Structure 1
Amino acid sequence: MTQLIKTKYPILNRIFNGKLKCISRFSATGVLNTLVDFCVFTICESLFGIHYALSQVLGYGFGIINSFIMNKKWTFESKASNKKVYHELIQFIVVNVCSLTITVVCMKLLVNNFSINIYISKVIVTLIAQVVNFLLYKLWVFN
């Protein structure tokens, strides 16, 4: 697969393996995580009628499971020992609990105080979370 990208799609090779490899891989992983998050959120909130705050927690939870695997293996290419993996996982969970708290508080503020649509609020808080997460993953979790 990697060789196919290098020869057939050189622009993709430059994006995902060049100077901006880390940020481009994080962004691609983030898109996938966001899709997982939004799908679970929408199913919980719209289909099952679960309150948007709990739907946010559930969607975010499924997104971070994917996020840990993809960021560890692909984005930051962490090759930690089993003991270190446990340590990374704990740090990753701490970062995401903080990020989740920020998103829920901000989402409640946007929906309740500013009457912003829950999906627009979801996009706004997702962008905030991505900045926080990238910095903490790079500087603390997978360094």
Structure 2
Amino acid sequence: MNFLVKWKQRLEERKLWEVFIYLFFGVLTTIVNIAVHFTCLDVFGWHYMVATVVSWVVSILFAFVTNKRWVFHSKTETSIEWVMEFSKFVFYRLLSLVMDMGSMYVLIELIHTGDIVAKIFTQVLVVVANYVFSKFLIFTRK
């Protein structure tokens, strides 16, 4: 346990802890997204675009909670502030959904890659974009 505490302190000293914890929760969010996506495809037999939307909704709810609480430690004092923050979060996640769906379309329909390759590629793209959105446009400290 002592090793983990020292490791965290080193990352904090180098200003890398936030990036690390964001990536940790980003990986978890990606796992949630992919698990829901392929459950929709394989269990329910839905079209990949429908599966992409459903997996997006579930994963952004997970991401909002983890980003707000454990990554950016955002505190909202009023319900209006919370609604504004959540609205910005949803808006920028909608933007990344467009990136996700556009990339899925190009990779599957035009380039003819497999579902798994396309989904993994798009999730890396989305995680990077979402960090930038969250850090600089959503969870800004006053």
- Structure 2 length-normalised TM: 0.90
Cα distance per residue 1:69-93 (max 9 Å; x no partner): 0000110001121221111000000
Does structure 1 residue 41 correspond to structure 2 residue 37?
yes
User: Could you tell me how far apart the structure 2 residues matched to 1:21 and 1:29 are?
Assistant: 12
Q: Which residue of 2 aligns with 1:114?
A: 111
Give the corresponding residue for 2:5: 10
Aligned-pair CA distance for 1:42:
0.9
Question: Given that residues 8 and 17 in structure 2 are in contact (C-alpha distance below 8 angstroms), is that contact kept between their aligned partners in structure 1?
Answer: no
Supply the RMSD in Å over aligned alpha carbons: 1.5
2:23 corresponds in structure 1 to 27
SS in 2 for 1:77: coil
Give the counterpart of 1:52 among 38, 43, 48: 48
What percent identity do the matched residue pairs reach?
24
Segments of 5+ residues of structure 1 without an aligned counterpart are: none
- Structure 2 distance, partners of 1:91, 1:16, is 29
Task: String of CA shifts for 1:86-126, please: whole Å, max 9, x gaps.
Answer: 11000000000010011001101110110100110001111
What is the CA–CA distance in structure 2 between the aligned matches of 1:134 and 1:97, rounded to whole Å? 14
SS at match of 1:9: helix
Residue equivalent to 2:69: 73
In structure 2, give the amino acid aligned to 1:142.
F
Q: Is the 8 A contact 1:16 1:25 kept in 2?
A: no
Match of 1:93 among 71, 90, 95: 90
CA distance in structure 2 between the aligned counterparts of 1:23 and 1:50, rounded to whole angstroms: 35
1:33 partner amino acid:
T
Q: 1:119 to 1:80 in 2, by over 3 A?
A: same
Indicate how the Cα distance of structure 1 residues 131 and 48 shifts in structure 2: closer, same or farther if over 3 A, else same: same
Number of positions where the alignment pairs a residue of Structure 1 with one of Structure 2: 138
Structure 2 unaligned runs (5+)?
A: none
